Structures are given as C-alpha cells and as structure tokens.
C-alpha cells in the first residue's frame, strides 16, 4: 500500500539499511554480490528514495530556482527571448541532474515570496533574470547566502556574479553599419533606461554616432512593439529627415517598421532600420530585419554552468559573451 522505504528494501535484500543506502548512492565500497541483491530488491519493490528525507539530512535539494523578476506588465515573460532562456537553462541544469523551479515574480508580493522560498532552503542555487534597476530582489537573494547568478549584469547589487553579452560592442556594430552605409541622420529608439541593457546600448549608440561627428537623436521606448511604433512616430515628427534608426530591440524595430510603412516611408530606401536580439520574427518582417544577434541561449547556458560551479564551491567569475551583426535587407 504505502511506498517502500529504504528499510523495506534492506529487509527484502537481507542486508542492512546502510548497504542499501550505499548502493543507491553509488558508493564504490560494496561487493558486487550485495549490490546485485540490493538492486534486485529495489526493482521488485519499485523503490524510489524519499527526497524530503534525503535532503533533510544532506542539506541539498538538487533543485535550482529560475526566477524571472518581471514588472507587472509581464514584459520579460512576454519577450521571445524569455523562452529561449528558459529552454537553454533548463537543458543545462537538467543535464546536471538539477530540477528547475520556475518562479515568475511579477509583483512585489511575489518577489517577497520568492525571496523567502530561497531563504528557506528550497533550492541549492538561483539563476536570476532581473532587468529593472530598482528591483530589490537581487540584494535580497544575495543576503540569503544561497549561490545566485544573474542573467544580465544587475543594475544595483554589484558583486552578484553574472553572465551577460557585449551590449556595447553589439550596438556599436549596428550603428557603425548604418553610418558606413552612408546614412546621415541616424536615430535610436531606446529601451527602458532603468535596464542596464538599454543603457549600454544607448551609450554605445551615442559614442558611435559622436565619433562619426553626428548628433545623437533618441526616442525612448520600453522594449515593446507598440512603444517602438510610438517612438518612431515621434522621431518622424521631430526629425523628418531621419534616414536610419537603430532600435534597441527587434520588437521595437518591428513596431518602427510598421510606423514607417504607415508614414509612407520605404525601408530601407528612405529609412534604414536595425534591431537588436535577432528574434525569430526578425526573419519574417518585410523587409527582413538587420539586427544584432544576442546569444541568449549561450548566455543562459553559461549562466547555468557558472551557477553549477558556484554551488559546488567554484569561483564567481562574470562571463561576457561576444555579439555579431546579422545583415539582412532592412539596413
């Protein structure tokens, strides 16, 4: 009726609890004979170790929390990058025998709860996706003593190990491409400026444009499609002779394409458009989008690896991955 315990297996196999434990945990100091006996009993009884009992004594859970600290709008979890991150991190962590506990913390209450969850010892480590500057969660988690790796350089909570990619280099690549192809008035549509990613991309845009002796022209978006369209309309109103736009992500670039079409401007004839992220949809726009590939899967995988190392007492070296420009037809 009830589930077999280690003791039941021991009785069945005619050996001690200790021996069963040793076999189940793969220790080497067991004679093959006894090992076989135990394995047979395990099979017959369908024994599976009770995880609660095990982690009570080992103080390990073999679980890793993937916490997505999301503003109420659900910005991050709506982003196409999100499922890439989840997928890559899951794959890596599960290959290492860790269970992934997904936590979408989209309210302060949920963040509070996530913090308590981690502090209570439910998980061995945390892979944190938190992009907004004022987010209290990174600091909160750092205080728990549980290993934490941030996916993306955190705004505050410096000192938290993180994995990121080279936003500055990537954005510079795109902007320089626009300038090199002969565009005179190169504008940008930024992401929300409390995100380090958005700030880095904007700074790189500014530097690159100024280096070329041009004046920066910026409209602020929030990484959503609609905000991209809105920002593009503003740009067209304020700077009618704009002939190139670097949008800080593809979603906003897609919005910009739409706004340009509505305004009767042709892409890339009248206005060149470059995006950032290389999401799948960038392939299917009209025209296909020139964009910066942000290696989300590799970044998530690197984050997972860094975390796994930390959990095993390894070092906390931040990782920064390179980016590359994908040239298509929009610029």
Does 29 contact DNA by CB under 7 A? Answer: yes
The pair of structure tokens assigned to 1 is 């009726």
Angle at 177 between CA 220 and CA 192, to 5 degrees: 15
Q: Is 69 in the site for a second copy (CB under 8 A)?
A: no
Q: Which is nearer to a second copy, 171 or 257 (CB)?
A: 257
Task: Give the integer Cα–Cα distance in Å for 86 and 91.
Answer: 8
**Residue 144 within binding range of DNA, rule CB under 7 A:** no
The span from the CA of 71 to the CA of 105, in Å, is 8
Tell me: does residue 287 bind a second copy (CB under 8 A): no
**Which one, of 182, 245, 177, lies nearest residue 216 by Cα?**
245
Q: How far is the CB of 183 from a second copy (least distance, A)?
A: 25
- Out of 3, 43, 184, 266, point to the residue binding DNA (CB under 7 A): 3
With binding defined as CB under 8 A, does residue 94 bind a second copy? yes
Among 40, 43, 58, 283, indicate the residue that binds DNA (CB under 7 A). Answer: 58
- According to DSSP, the β-strands at 290-293 and 324-326 are antiparallel
Rounded Cα distance between 34 and 201, Å, is 62
262 binds a second copy (CB under 8 A): no
d(CA 161, CA 90): 19
> Which two structure tokens, joined as six digits, stand for 205?
């845009």
In angstroms, rounded to a whole number, what is the distance separating the alpha carbons of residues 207 and 242?
18
Q: List the one residue out of 213, 209, 220 whose CA is nearest residue 186.
A: 209
99 binds DNA (CB under 7 A): no
Residue 30 or 142 with smaller CB distance to DNA: 30
**Residue of 16, 18, 25, 50 that binds a second copy (CB under 8 A):** 50
Name the residue nearer to DNA (CB basis): 50 or 324.
50
The verdict on 39 binding a second copy (CB under 8 A) reads: no
Smaller CB separation from DNA, 61 or 90? 61
Q: In angstroms, give the least distance from the CB of 12 to a second copy.
A: 19
From CA 29, how far away is CA 47, in angstroms rounded? 21
By CB under 7 A, tell whether 22 contacts DNA.
yes
**Cα 275–chain centre separation:** 19
Footprint of a second copy (CB under 8 A): 3, 48-53, 55-56, 61, 63, 66, 74, 77-78, 80, 82-83, 86-87, 90-91, 94, 99-104, 106, 110, 113, 116-117, 119-122, 225, 254, 258, 281, 284, 286
């Amino acid at each position: 009726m009830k589930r077999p315990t280690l003791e039941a297996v021991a009785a069945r196999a005619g050996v001690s609890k200790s021996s069963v434990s040793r076999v189940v945990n793969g220790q080497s100091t067991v004679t093959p004979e006894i090992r076989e006996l135990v394995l047979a009993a395990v099979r017959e009884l369908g024994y599976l170790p009770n995880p609660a009992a095990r982690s009570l004594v080992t103080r390990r859970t073999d679980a890793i929390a993937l916490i997505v600290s999301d503003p109420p709008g659900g910005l991050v979890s709506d982003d196409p990058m999100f499922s890439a991150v989840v997928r890559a991190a899951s794959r890596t962590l599960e290959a290492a025998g860790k269970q992934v506990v997904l936590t979408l913390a989209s309210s302060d209450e949920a963040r509070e709860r996530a913090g308590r969850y981690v502090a209570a010892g439910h998980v061995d480590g945390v892979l944190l996706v938190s992009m907004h500057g004022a987010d209290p969660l990174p600091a909160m988690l750092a205080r728990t003593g549980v290993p934490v790796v941030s996916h993306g350089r955190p705004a505050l909570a410096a000192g938290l190990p993180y994995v990121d990619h080279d936003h500055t280099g990537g954005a510079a690549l795109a902007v320089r491409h626009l300038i090199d192809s002969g565009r005179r008035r190169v504008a940008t549509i930024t992401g929300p400026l409390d995100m380090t990613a958005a700030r880095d991309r904007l700074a790189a845009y500014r530097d690159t444009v100024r280096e070329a002796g041009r004046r920066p022209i910026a409209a602020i978006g929030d990484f959503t499609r609609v905000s991209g369209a809105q920002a593009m309309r503003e740009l067209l109103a304020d700077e009618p002779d704009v002939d190139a736009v670097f949008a800080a992500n593809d979603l906003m670039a897609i919005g910009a394409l739409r706004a340009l079409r509505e305004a009767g401007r042709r892409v890339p004839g009248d206005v060149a458009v470059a995006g950032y992220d290389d999401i799948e949809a960038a392939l299917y726009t009209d025209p296909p989008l020139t964009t910066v590939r942000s290696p989300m899967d590799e970044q998530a995988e690197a984050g997972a690896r860094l975390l796994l190392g930390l959990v095993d007492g390894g070092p906390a070296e931040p990782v920064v991955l390179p980016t590359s420009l994908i040239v298509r037809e929009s610029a």
